């Protein structure tokens, strides 16, 4: 397992949320739940330097403020709920040709030659995960990564992601609504509610 520095938030101040301080170590999966509109996506976007905010975000010795946004986001990889596609052909989003996991995720290699406009939302979501991991991140921020998938596909994507997370050893923040999914993937769990982040003890021992 690769060793990555911890992701630290020091009084991260975004929107109406009370400032958030936390440390997510290599290999930890912090699942973040909370009602719709609580600010989960905004928090992830601030960590990725895509949202105005106060406070500090660091990755070991490296501070977010020390790097231009695009260089920070190569390390701190956000997979948003709605992925962005800039080239017409799917395969052009994988310039290094690393599509490990394509068939495990239930996708045919032919998909690489498709125009992006042909993709379903679930296909986009799985390809966005593949694309993010292929870039060699140091941190993963996952915003409802299985929101557009049926149950069977969700379980497959979860298993694949957890195997990659074990192998990659990244600190991970995973926004999820489904308590069953949270029970399967979280090593820690938190909830954004009434403008603050509360970390919860696990419901069961693993
Ligand atoms: N740039 C912005 N400026 C001001 N308010 C914003 C901005 N972006 C989002 N909001 C508001 O902040 C609140 C939190 O939005 P956010 O998308 O983070 O919620 P969420 O917890 O991820 O919700 P969901 O579970 O529905 O995805 C919402 O009320 C939203 O309208």
Query: Does any domain span residue 202?
Result: no
Query: Does any domain span residue 206?
Result: no
Query: Does any domain span residue 152?
Result: yes
Q: 124 lies in which domain range? A: 7-196
Is residue 93 within 6 Å of ligand 1 at its C-beta?
no
Pocket of ligand 1, candidates 41, 48, 78, 182: which has the most ligand atoms within 8 Å of its Cβ, to mutate? 41
Tens of pLDDT along 27-54?
999 999 999 999 999 999 999 999 999 9
What angle, 0 to 180 degrees and rounded to 10, lies between the N-to-C axes of helices 121-134 and 151-168?
10
Query: Does any domain span residue 24?
Result: yes
The residue nearest atom 7 of ligand 1, judged by CA position, is: 42
Q: How many Cα atoms sit within 13 Å of 25 on the Cβ side?
A: 2
Is residue 16 within 6 Å of ligand 1 at its C-beta?
no
From ligand 1's centre to the CA of 24, what distance in Å?
23
Query: Does any domain span residue 1?
Result: no
Helices (H), 14-136: 40-47, 69-75, 121-134
Average pLDDT over residues 147-158: 92
Tens of pLDDT along 59-77?
999 999 999 999 999 999 9
Residue 65's CATH number: 3.40.50.300
Average pLDDT over residues 163-178: 95
Query: Does any domain span residue 27?
Result: yes
pLDDT tier at 206 (50, 70, 90 boundaries)? very low
Number of domains in the chain: 1
The radius of gyration of the chain from alpha carbons, rounded to an integer in Å, stands at 17
pLDDT at residue 202 greater than cutoff 70: no
Query: Does any domain span residue 185?
Result: yes
CA angle 171, 197, 4 (to 5 degrees): 10
pLDDT, residue 205, reads: 41
The residue nearest atom 5 of ligand 1, judged by CA position, is: 15
Query: Does any domain span residue 99?
Result: yes
From ligand 1's centre to the CA of 18, what distance in Å?
15
Q: Are 17 and 173 in contact (CB under 8 A)?
A: no
Tens of pLDDT along 106-136?
999 999 999 999 999 999 999 999 999 999 9
What is the position in ligand 1's atom list of the atom closest to the CA of 39?
18
Tens of pLDDT along 5-34?
999 999 999 988 999 999 999 999 999 999
Is residue 39 within 6 Å of ligand 1 at its C-beta?
yes
């Amino acid at each position: 397992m690769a060793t990555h520095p911890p992701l630290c938030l020091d009084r991260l101040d975004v929107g109406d949320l009370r400032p958030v301080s936390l440390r997510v170590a290599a290999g930890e999966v912090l699942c973040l739940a909370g009602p719709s509109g609580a600010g989960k996506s905004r928090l992830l976007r601030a960590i990725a330097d895509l949202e105005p905010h106060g406070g500090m975000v660091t990755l070991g010795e490296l501070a977010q403020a020390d790097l231009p946004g695009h260089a920070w986001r190569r390390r701190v990889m956000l997979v948003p709920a709605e992925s962005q596609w800039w080239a017409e052909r799917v395969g052009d989003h994988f310039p290094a040709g690393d599509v490990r996991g394509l068939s495990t995720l239930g996708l045919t290699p032919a998909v690489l030659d498709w125009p992006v406009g042909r993709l379903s939302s679930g296909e986009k979501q799985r390809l966005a995960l593949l694309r993010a991991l292929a870039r060699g991140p140091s941190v993963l921020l996952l915003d409802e990564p299985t929101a557009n998938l049926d149950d069977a596909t969700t379980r497959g994507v979860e298993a694949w992601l957890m195997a990659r997370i074990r192998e990659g050893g990244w600190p991970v923040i995973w926004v999820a609504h489904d308590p069953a999914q949270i029970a399967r993937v979280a090593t820690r769990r938190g909830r954004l509610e009434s403008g603050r982040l509360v970390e919860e003890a696990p419901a069961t021992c693993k």
